[in-house]
Structure formats: C-alpha cells, structure tokens
Amino acid sequence: GYLDQVEGKFHLFSPPEIRDWSVSAIRVMDQVMWLGLASRGEWGDTGGGFLRVDLKTMQVRKYDATGLVNEFAGYDGRLYVATSSGVGVVLADGSMEHVFIDSTADHTFQLSLATQ
C-alpha cells in the first residue's frame, strides 16, 4: 500500500498478478514500481520473476527471471535485477538481457551477455 499525502489516506495496492506471491524486492523509480515475486515454501524460496507497475496507469508487465530476485538498481537508463542465479538488465525500451559477471585475465570483472 501507500500513503497519499494529499488525501492523508492509506491505499492498499494489490494487482491480480501479485496475489499468489510474496514480494522479495521493491524499487520505485519515478512513476514505476518494480516488484520481485517469490514463493516462500517449507523447503526454500522459489522465484516467480518480477513485475513492472506503471503507477500512473496501474498497467502491469511481468518479466521472467532465473532465480529469486534479491535487489533492483537503476543506472544509466537501465534497471539491473540481481537474482540468486545472476543478473538481468531491463533496457530503456523494455526489453531484457541476461548477463553474467565474467572475470578477465587481469583479474577485473565485466558484465557479459549470457548466450542461449
């Protein structure tokens, strides 16, 4: 939910896409909310991808992700999605790339595109 400071009221927010899930990570950037989806089970947690919610229109888009979403970070017009199985990058056009962290010969690190 959220507190509308103008109205002074608390509003509950529950799109149908989230009702069967727990939330593992939340990030609000401008007028967009990102929600990591998780199923919390007796034998461990299972990832369910993540949602992009436009807070102006309340339109929801679901993205698939490998692993459990742990964190979102915005940088340079992209959204980086840290999961238990690697990193996903949502580009400005809404498309998504899966990347992994690669060690170079000089012992530095770089993000590399995951091949299918």
What's the average model confidence in pLDDT over 79-108?
86
**Torsion-angle region of 16 (φ positive above 0: left; ψ -120 to 50: alpha; else: beta):** alpha
* Tokens 């590399």 found at: 112
d(CA 106, CA 12): 51
Tokens of 61: 């888009």
pLDDT band (50, 70, 90) for residue 113? low
Residue 75 amino acid letter: Y
What's the average model confidence in pLDDT over 48-72?
93
pLDDT band (50, 70, 90) for residue 19? confident
Q: pLDDT tens digit string along 27-51?
A: 999 889 999 999 988 887 889 999 9
Specify the pTM.
0.79
3-class DSSP state for residue 79? strand
